[in-house]
Amino acid sequence: MNEATIILSNAAGRGTAPVNAIARWVEGNLEGLVIGSAVAVAIVLVMMLARIGGRRLLARDPECRRWSGIVGNVLAKTGILFMIAAAIEIVVSYAAVPAKLARLADVLFIVATALQAAVWAREIIVGAVRTRVGDDPGATTLGNAMSLIRVLVSVAAFGLAFIVILDNLGVNVTALIAGLGIGGIAIGLAAQGIFSDLFAALAIVFDRPFRRGDTIRYGTGSVGTVEKIGLKTTRIRSVTGEQLVMANTKLLEQELTNVAEMKVQRAWLRFGLTYQTPPEVIERLGELLEEAVKPIRTARAVRAGATGFGASAIDCEMIYDDRSSDPETLARHKSAIIVAILRIFAREGIDFAYPTQTTFTAAPDGTLVMPYAVPRDA
């Protein structure tokens, strides 16, 4: 029992006026009360200024799309209860107060700090998710599901705060934590598909392998445009028009190529020319094929020419790059280049080769019959 407790107890026992006892206690702890009060007022003023500054930052970014808005929102959420509890705890630490009052101040400070930490943690986590979604508004239905995410984060944060409070109050939380763990395992097993897709959606938001509107290549070469990213599924519009609904987990398990992030699309055109094609034409093949690509502003010929001798043709190819990312645009460009090649070859008298077979037969007298007309001697 400290001196303050003895003074107040003796005063109450003798029936003397409590005011006199309190006055003597204040006189005996005046220095500690003054120092503690000064420190408490200074800290409260700092927290109040931080709260005002946070509101100003939040006013510049009310949707918390940037980290400055998140910091402002966190500072603005500093509660009055936490400030009061912190001030009381500081004063109590400098002045010799009765043990029961000191314990009461400790409990109040623990409760206020745990709740305030839960609020700060919630705002930081939700703000981080909103920041990733906010760079492209409407790019994902997670933007419309922020209320659900906020509820889940709040339950987790305040649940942890509740356990911390009980533990500091001397309650044995081992059984509670074990029960929550068993319950969490049961819920996780029952809804593991839903939770796996939810975490996959969060991975898409934070890692950003693609966004809405991006054209992606996935699986064994399927191509489609991302239309919507949801909490459980992602909707992809294929090049043939169907809308594919794919679970986020299964989508991320596949090899993905974000076509929209590719600076150029490289394409090949392979064909064969007849062996009757003059070597001079083969030498000019690169120039002729580049002429076919020039009308396409986003395309550039990389290499064109003969590549080898085939069974029935001189093998040729043209490689070109196209800066377009839209599959429909790429298909139109490729078709236009093919049509241009046909026109150029028709103008130059160049023939495409195709598999042919020549059959030689003999007449009854053994004379060879040619598969083509042979002019008679005059």
* Residue 371 counted as domain residue: no
pLDDT at res. 142 = 56
Reported as type and span, the H/E element at residue 10 is helix 3-14
Q: Is the dihedral of CA 56, 59, 63, 66 positive or negative?
A: negative
Gyration radius of the chain's alpha carbons: 40
* Residue 329 counted as domain residue: yes
Distance CA 110, CA 106 (A): 6
pLDDT at res. 377 = 59
Q: Tokens 């509890």 belong to which residue?
A: 85
Q: Are residues 21 and 157 in the same domain?
A: yes
Q: Are residues 18 and 40 in the same domain?
A: yes
Q: Which amino acid is at 115?
A: L
Please measure the distance between the N-terminal and C-terminal CA atoms of the chain and give it in whole angstroms.
143
pLDDT at res. 144 = 54
* Residue 190 counted as domain residue: no
Q: What is the tally of structural domains in the chain? A: 3
| Contact criterion met (CB below 8 Å) for 37 and 91 | yes
pLDDT at res. 45 = 92
pLDDT at res. 138 = 47
* Residue 185 counted as domain residue: no
Output the six-digit token pair for 349. 């008298």
pLDDT at res. 39 = 85
Cα–Cα nearest to 302, from 319, 288, 282: 319
Q: Are residues 76 and 160 in the same domain?
A: yes
Q: Are residues 109 and 250 in the same domain?
A: no
* Residue 195 counted as domain residue: no
Q: Are residues 64 and 151 in the same domain?
A: yes
Distance CA 169, CA 109 (A): 12
One pLDDT digit (tens) per residue for the chain, 378 residues? 455 544 445 544 454 556 666 666 666 666 777 787 888 888 889 999 989 988 888 888 887 778 888 888 888 888 888 898 888 888 888 777 777 888 888 888 989 999 999 999 998 888 887 776 655 544 455 555 677 778 888 888 888 888 888 888 777 777 777 777 776 677 666 666 677 777 787 777 777 788 888 888 888 778 888 888 887 888 898 878 888 888 888 888 888 888 777 778 888 899 999 988 999 999 999 899 999 999 998 898 888 889 999 888 999 999 999 988 777 888 899 999 999 999 999 999 999 988 777 676 777 777 777 666 666 654
Output the six-digit token pair for 214. 């991006």
Contacts of 105 (CB under 8 A, 6+ apart): 85, 88, 89, 92, 97
Q: Are residues 159 and 30 in the same domain?
A: yes
**3-class SS of residue 224:** strand
pLDDT at res. 378 = 44
Per-residue b or e along 324-339, where b marks 16 or more CB atoms closer than 10 Å to that residue's CB: bbebeebeebbeebee
pLDDT at res. 19 = 65
* Residue 254 counted as domain residue: yes
* Residue 129 counted as domain residue: yes
Angle made by CA atoms 125, 129, 130, in degrees to the nearest 5: 115
pLDDT at res. 314 = 92
The CATH number of whichever domain residue 257 belongs to comes to 2.30.30.60
Cα–Cα nearest to 319, from 348, 284, 290, 345: 290
- Looking at the chain, the number of H-run helices and the number of E-run strands are 13, 10
DSSP-derived letter for residue 201 is H
Domain boundary residue among 261, 276, 291? 261
Provide the residue range defining the domain that includes 286: 265-348
**3-class SS of residue 159:** helix
* Residue 160 counted as domain residue: yes
The CATH number of whichever domain residue 293 belongs to comes to 3.30.70.100
Q: Tokens 């409407």 belong to which residue?
A: 138
Distance CA 281, CA 350 (A): 8
Q: Which amino acid is at 360?
A: F
pLDDT at res. 134 = 58
Angle made by CA atoms 5, 8, 13, in degrees to the nearest 5: 120
